[in-house]
């Protein structure tokens, strides 16, 4: 399918959805999910996806995923966007290619948004997914599970890294709910 761009007024959007909802009268739950095409800063067609493992304002780890190659490429950073040391992550080459990539130009903005969003979500842990667009950081989604670290067939963490992130989770829970 070709990329097509259409602009609709609010009244037109409401009208389209009313027609859709009318054609599905038996459905009890009617909701709409709206997605936006994100314009990338670089020449890549899909924006780089930054996943922040966040614990009520404290960033435990950052994962960058690039989906523009023949195989996913992933980079890992600490809470200040410095590349993570080898040995902290057990990486499976079958799922992606490990890449050491440069820190993004607006890393401070990305960190600030991720921290702020994680403080708004009333849970000790949230994975904050951001895109680095030409307009600055954009929120992709907030996920309440750590993603592929949760599944043993994906990339996994060393015991020490699991324990460190577990402590961040406990500390965030204590801050949020009290001891």
Task: State which residues form the domain around 128.
Answer: 49-177
What does pTM read for this prediction? 0.78
DSSP letter at 71? S
Q: Is the dihedral of CA 140, 101, 157, 153 positive or negative?
A: positive
Residue 121 sits in a domain whose CATH number is 3.30.470.20
- Residue 117 near residue 126 (C-beta atoms within 8 A): yes
H helices present in 23-73, as ranges? none
Say how many C-beta atoms besides its own lie within 10 A of residue 34's C-beta.
5
How far apart are the C-alpha atoms of 27 and 21, rounded to whole Å?
8
In a domain, 35, yes or no: no
In a domain, 32, yes or no: no
Type and span of the H or E element at 128: strand 126-133
In a domain, 14, yes or no: no
How far apart are the C-alpha atoms of 138 and 40, rounded to whole Å?
11
The pair of three-digit structure tokens given for residue 22, joined into one six-digit string = 């009318």
Task: Compute the residue count for the chain.
Answer: 179
Bridge partners for 142 per DSSP: 128
In a domain, 33, yes or no: no
Say how many C-beta atoms besides its own lie within 10 A of residue 156's C-beta.
17
pLDDT-above-70 percentage for the chain: 83
How high is the pLDDT of residue 145?
81
The per-residue pLDDT of the chain, averaged, comes to 84
Q: What is the pLDDT of residues 36-92, one digit of tens each?
A: 766 666 666 778 889 999 999 999 999 998 888 788 888 889 999 998 877 787 777
Mean pLDDT calculated for residue range 94-119 = 89
In a domain, 118, yes or no: yes
Mean pLDDT calculated for residue range 126-138 = 89
How high is the pLDDT of residue 158?
84
Whether the per-residue pLDDT at 135 is higher than 70: the answer is yes
In a domain, 37, yes or no: no
What is the number of structural domains in the chain? 1
């Amino acid at each position: 399918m070709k990329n097509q761009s259409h602009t609709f007024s609010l009244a037109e959007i409401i009208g389209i959805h009313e027609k859709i909802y009318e054609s599905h009268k038996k459905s009890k739950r009617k909701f709409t999910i709206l997605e936006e095409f994100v314009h990338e800063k670089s020449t890549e067609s899909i924006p780089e996806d930054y996943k922040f493992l966040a614990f009520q304002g404290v960033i435990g780890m950052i994962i960058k995923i690039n989906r523009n190659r023949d195989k996913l490429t992933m980079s890992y950073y600490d809470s200040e966007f410095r590349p993570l040391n080898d040995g902290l992550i057990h990486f499976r080459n079958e799922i992606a290619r490990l890449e050491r990539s440069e820190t993004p130009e607006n890393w401070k903005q990305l960190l600030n948004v991720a921290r702020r969003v994680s403080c708004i979500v009333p849970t000790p842990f949230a994975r904050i997914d951001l895109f680095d667009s030409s307009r600055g950081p954009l929120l992709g989604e907030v996920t309440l599970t750590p993603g592929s670290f949760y599944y043993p067939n994906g990339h996994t963490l060393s015991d020490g890294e699991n324990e460190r992130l577990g402590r961040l989770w406990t500390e965030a829970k204590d801050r949020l709910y009290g001891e």
